[in-house]
Amino acid sequence: MSSKKVILVTGGSGLVGHGIKAAMEREGQRSDEEWHFVSSKDADLKNRASTEALFAKIKPTHVIHLAALVGGLFRNLKYNLDIFRINSRINDNVLSTAHKHNVEKVVSCLSTCIFPDKTTYPIDETMVHDGPPHDSSFGYSYSKRMIDVQNKGYHIQHGCTFTSVIASNVFGPYDNFNCENGHVLPGLIRRAFDSKADGTPFVIWGTGSPRRQFIYSLDLGRLFLWIMREYKEVEPIILAADEESEISIKEAADLVIEAVGFKGEVIQDTSKPDGPLKKTTSNAKLRKYLPHFVFTPIKEAIKDTCDWYGANPDIVRK
């Protein structure tokens, strides 16, 4: 009997999916693995029949589940209900279909914004359900928390190895560079390029003081490969760079300005909301498993992302 892993990556056309693909291509395709990166064009995972048809076609032994309606602070504030309903439906379809098809392992992607708003720092994996998340992203956060509830249920009731990772703020090539819908770094990168081209001031939204632990999509991709192959727990694991790497939005903006070579005026729009002031997480669990993992320095990763944005005007999502 063949022991080849057939790995289905839902949401494979997005930022994180491309990070995994790049990490996999960098290390070279393994003969015992067959990868399928799919998008909403292959199957609308909101739809049960479409999800079933995808699993029947690919016949995965392993699933990395990334597909979701994803957005930054501003999209979350506007569409909390839609995001909760859509993502809950996608997650239920994917997990229940994976169970029906006897998938050996599912790794879903949660996010550090799901943690309680009122908390002690650093936050760790045991604190996911300790209190309400920040109000700005309650829909997204509760739909993600329910994946952890389902993973526990599938394990206790059916013995499944369905697990999850909790990723901090991701950025990199193939991100969504739409300022209203996307996350902070792609928003800043787009505005820096536009301001440089138009000779207009570069605007930082909010006070610039919130702090974030950014992770480069390629680093997250390398970690996903390890999780998919080696991680045996059902309980989630935080995938974030070390606590000391946390920077303010203003510091992130300065790195973007330097990478893009913008020389004009920099202003702040403090009428825009800040979201959580910080969500500092501990990566001690990850470090126990992988003490020597080296994260790409943020300055280098931002420069690479800006270079990719500048070189790919035809495929940039904005």
| Candidates 5-13, 42-50, 59-67, 271-279; binding stretch for ligand GDP (CB under 6 A) | 271-279
39 binds, among ligand GDP, ligand NAP, none (CB under 5 to 8 A by kind): ligand NAP
The Cα 217–Cα 300 span in angstroms is 13
Is residue 187 a contact residue for ligand GDP (CB under 6 A)? yes
- By the 8 A CB rule, do 7 and 64 touch? yes
| Nearest by Cα to 192 from 208, 169, 184 | 184
DSSP H or E segment with residue 253: helix 249-260
Number of residues that bind ligand GDP (CB under 6 A): 21
| Residue among 289, 294, 282, 214 at smallest CA distance from 253 | 214
Beta strand 202-205 pairing with 237-239 = unpaired
Instruction: Please say which residue, 58 or 109, places its beta carbon nearer to ligand GDP.
Output: 109
- In the stretch 77-106, what mask flags binding to ligand NAP with x, by CB under 6 A? -------------x----------------
- Beta strand ranges found along the chain (DSSP E): 5-10, 33-37, 62-65, 105-111, 161-167, 169-171, 202-205, 211-212, 214-216, 237-239, 247-248, 266-269
Q: How far apart are CA 41 and CA 196, in angstroms?
A: 35
Part of the chain binding ligand GDP (CB under 6 A), chosen from 66-74, 219-227, 289-297, 307-315: 66-74
Q: For residues 153-182, which are near ligand NAP according to CB under 6 A?
A: 167, 169-170, 176
Contact flag: residue 144 with ligand GDP (CB under 6 A): no
Question: Residue 184 in 3-state DSSP?
Answer: helix
Active site residue 142: no
Residues 31-70 binding ligand NAP (CB under 6 A) are 39-41, 43-46, 66-70
Residue with tokens 């995965």: 60
Give min distance, CB of 246 to ligand NAP, in A.
Answer: 15
11 touches ligand NAP (CB under 6 A): yes
Phi/psi of residue 196, each to 5°? -65, -45
109 binds, among ligand GDP, ligand NAP, none (CB under 5 to 8 A by kind): ligand NAP
Residue among 29 and 271 whose Cβ is closer to ligand GDP:
271
User: Quick one: which segment of 15-23, 49-57, 72-80, 282-290 binds ligand GDP (CB under 6 A)?
Assistant: 72-80
Distance separating alpha carbons of residues 45 and 42, to the nearest angstrom? 9
ω into 122 cis (within 30 of 0): yes
Chain positions contacting ligand GDP, by CB under 6 A: 72-74, 113, 169, 179, 183-184, 187-188, 204-206, 210, 212, 249, 272-276
The catalytic site residues sit at 140
Q: Which residues are near ligand NAP by CB under 6 A?
A: 11-17, 39-41, 43-46, 66-70, 90, 109, 111, 167, 169-170, 176, 183
